[in-house]
């Protein structure tokens, strides 16, 4: 039988951090509505930031093999690349295992929240999303300090 959750009790507590990013491709109408605060559901970047932070904190609920980690820091930034919205999430903790899955969950959820808030603008006449997509979700950086004796 294999361990469903990898034992980490023997590992030292050290500083760990991760940065993840991803992109949501949007229509010009959606990008303009977000930039000008005209989205019916509210402030897309603010709501999506909160969603990303919440996802970071709740990662073990979504990914069953992840350990519960005492998150010490989380930041979310948004950047425009023409009509594409980039979300970057930084997570830090002192713990026995890394926080890259938390950063990835934050990015994914932040981008999904943004899409949800503008989906009425993104749909075509048939109710489909011909050009909306989330792409390039990845870990940019993962750090782990050396254990102190």
Q: Is 116 a catalytic residue?
A: yes
Q: Residue 27 in 3-state DSSP?
A: coil
Q: Find residue 118's DSSP bridge partners.
A: none
Torsion of Cα atoms, 29 then 107 then 137 then 39, to 10°: -10
145: left (phi over 0), alpha (psi -120 to 50) or beta: beta
Annotated catalytic residue within 116, 136, 145, 149: 116
Active site residues: 116
């Amino acid at each position: 039988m294999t361990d469903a959750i990898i034992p980490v009790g023997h590992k030292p507590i050290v500083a760990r951090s991760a940065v993840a990013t991803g992109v949501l491709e949007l229509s010009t109408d959606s990008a303009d509505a977000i930039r000008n605060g005209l989205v019916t559901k509210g402030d897309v970047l603010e709501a999506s930031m909160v969603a990303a932070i919440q996802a970071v904190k709740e990662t073990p609920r979504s990914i069953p093999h992840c350990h519960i980690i005492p998150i010490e820091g989380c930041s979310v930034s948004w950047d425009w690349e023409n009509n594409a919205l980039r979300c970057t999430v930084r997570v830090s903790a002192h713990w026995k295992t890394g926080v890259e899955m938390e950063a990835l969950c934050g990015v994914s959820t932040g981008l999904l929240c943004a899409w949800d808030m503008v989906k009425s603008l993104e749909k075509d006449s048939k109710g489909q999303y011909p050009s909306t997509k989330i792409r390039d979700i990845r870990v940019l950086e993962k750090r782990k300090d050396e254990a102190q004796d």
